[in-house]
């Protein structure tokens, strides 16, 4: 039923194809990359896009296409790992808040309110400035500051589902709270989480690109779309390709994930007609 509804949405299918293509490129990066992304060649400095270098070269003669292909690995890794961390935290806290209610619900929701009141990007900058920039720090910090919306979604689903007949039947036969939460309620509360996960990956990729652009994310010479943009900032007037292609990659990637997430939401919601 999901697939029948999803495949009718041509825009969502396009997004899914683009997302799948990016995953394939990230996995096969060593095989599809025409050059080593970190090899410096001073004879090819700031070469415009051409037959030898399809997307041109940077100020150190490194092939932009190769660096962007390897940057796909970094961006997708950060996106998936960070949102996986956020999803796990959000599911656990949202489940506890929605199932037990009362004091536990109040404490968790006040924590959510506090986290939402703090500007996430500036909190990320502060933490990374103190701890030090690295890809793992970026992943964990984005994950630890991005769980609030998922927790609220899961809590709302639990508040609706915990009074249903199948939950009351499970209680009547003596099922434990853990079994009721993870076996009976949570599987039925996951639909909005799937959509939030897909959209969250796009947000995490955008966040990592912004941090790398400011010098707080993935550090050179490891290529990421953000630090490729940073390297090209000084040469915008003479080497437009250093800004254009990484920016286009970020735009298309985030747009693909947003389109895919919206398509999944429509396919999972029987009230919506595609």
pLDDT in tens, 39-67: 888 888 888 898 888 988 888 889 899 99
Residue 263 token pair: 């398509």
Residues 165 and 160: their CA atoms lie apart, in Å, by: 11
Q: Would you say 44 and 61 are in contact if contact means Cβ atoms under 8 Å apart?
A: yes
Residue 93 token pair: 């806290």
Residue 156 token pair: 């709302």
Q: Would you say 15 and 257 are in contact if contact means Cβ atoms under 8 Å apart?
A: yes
Domains in the chain with CATH codes: 2-25+64-268 (1.10.3720.10)
pLDDT reported for residue 108:
92
pLDDT reported for residue 50:
86
Residues 151 and 144: their CA atoms lie apart, in Å, by: 12
Residues 256 and 85: their CA atoms lie apart, in Å, by: 22
Q: What are phi and psi of 207, to 5 degrees?
A: -65, -45
272: which DSSP letter? Answer: S
The answer to whether residue 4 scores a pLDDT higher than 90 is: no
Residues 29 and 6: their CA atoms lie apart, in Å, by: 30
pLDDT reported for residue 230:
83
pLDDT reported for residue 274:
45
Alpha helices in 145-218 (DSSP H): 148-161, 165-172, 177-179, 191-214
Q: For residue 69, what pLDDT band results from cuts at 50, 70 and 90?
A: very high
Q: Would you say 105 and 93 are in contact if contact means Cβ atoms under 8 Å apart?
A: no
pLDDT in tens, 105-157: 899 999 998 888 888 788 888 888 888 777 888 888 888 888 999 999 999 98
């Amino acid at each position: 039923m999901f697939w029948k509804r999803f495949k009718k949405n041509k825009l969502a299918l396009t997004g899914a194809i683009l997302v799948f293509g990016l995953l394939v490129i990230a996995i096969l990066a060593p095989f599809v990359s025409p050059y080593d992304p970190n090899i410096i060649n001073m004879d090819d400095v700031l070469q415009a896009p051409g037959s030898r270098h399809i997307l041109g070269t940077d100020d150190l003669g490194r092939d932009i296409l190769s660096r962007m292909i390897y940057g796909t690995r970094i961006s997708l890794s950060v996106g998936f790992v960070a949102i996986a961390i956020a999803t796990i935290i959000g599911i656990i806290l949202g489940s506890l808040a929605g199932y037990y209610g009362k004091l536990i619900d109040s404490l968790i929701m006040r924590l959510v309110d506090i986290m939402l009141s703090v500007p996430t990007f500036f909190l990320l900058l502060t933490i990374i400035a103190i701890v030090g920039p690295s890809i793992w720090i970026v992943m964990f910090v984005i994950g630890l500051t991005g769980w609030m919306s998922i927790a609220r979604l899961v809590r709302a689903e639990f508040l609706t589902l915990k009074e249903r007949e199948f939950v009351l039947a499970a209680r009547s036969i003596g099922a434990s709270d853990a079994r009721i939460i993870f076996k009976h309620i949570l599987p039925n509360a996951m639909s909005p989480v799937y959509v939030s996960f897909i959209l969250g990956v796009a947000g995490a990729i955008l966040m990592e690109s912004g941090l790398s652009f400011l010098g707080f994310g993935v550090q050179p010479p490891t290529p990421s779309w953000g630090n490729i943009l940073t390297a090209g900032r000084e040469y915008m007037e003479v080497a437009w390709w250093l800004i254009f292609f990484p920016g286009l990659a970020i735009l298309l990637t985030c747009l693909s994930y947003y389109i895919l997430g919206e398509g999944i939401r429509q396919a999972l919601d029987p009230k919506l007609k595609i």
